[in-house]
Amino acid sequence: MRRILIVGATSAIAEATARLFAARGDALCLVGRDAARLATIAADLAVRGAVRTATATLDVTDYAAHEGVIDQAERELGGLDTVLIAHGTLSDQNDCENSVDALRREYDINALSVMALLTPIANRFAKQGFGDIAVISSVAGDRGRMSNYVYGSAKAAVTAFLSGLRQRLQKSGVNVLTIKPGFVDTPMTKDFPKGALWAQPDAVAQGIVKAIDKRRSVVYLPWFWSLIMLVIRNVPEFVFKRVKL
């Protein structure tokens, strides 16, 4: 049985992943901003087989509250061995280009709050000598593109942070997984036209659970995004800067 803390638990991908954990009889602490929504999800997970469920509200940019929420999760579940960080926003690129406040807000949510949460979690797991940390980054972090370079650069920062954290913790028996989804059909992307490259949250969730179980380091979901991003990363800069992406 895993004892799992999920931050950003009301997101479509996180909820789909939690359902898979619940079906296996794991214990889950769900963290997010919407208390009512968290309670609804927790009740559903209990029906699906979760051995224990708990909830906690958190504004991820309230850094002073992070330790308290982690403490609560440990108390409610009798310890922690797995953390999934899944919160984030899809930045409005135009707003961020024209407003430093908007830029800072997006970095605060998509990058700094993730790193802030990971710091005490990593220290606790290192001390206990085991654990799995999984964080949803994005393929957007593999190379900056004019259409979303604020979001992409925030995710790139998370990806680099996780790479160093993984190297630091590997001797402590703690695995760090970087999850890089491509296009996923969620409420956050409801206004985007969909096509063949789009995945459903349930499919991404299956890939996340499998990667955590196998203690992978990095996973692209669906898998073909590893090939797509390999090509994009290797387009010469003099060509890339003339392409509208």
Q: Known catalytic residues?
A: 151
φ/ψ bin of 129: left (φ > 0), alpha (ψ from -120 to 50), beta (otherwise)? left
The answer to whether 36 and 83 have CB atoms below 8 angstroms apart is no
**Phi, psi torsion values for 5, nearest 5 degrees:** -100, 125
**Phi, psi torsion values for 31, nearest 5 degrees:** -125, 135
Question: What is the C-alpha to C-alpha distance for residues 218 and 180, in angstroms, rounded to an integer?
Answer: 8
Tell how strand 52-57 and strand 27-32 pair up.
Answer: parallel
HSE at residue 92, side-chain half, CA atoms within 13 A, is 9
Among 215, 181, 166, smallest CA distance to 2 is for 215
Can you tell me which residue has the tokens 């794991």?
Answer: 26
Bridge partners of residue 176, in order along the sequence: 133
**Phi, psi torsion values for 227, nearest 5 degrees:** -75, -45
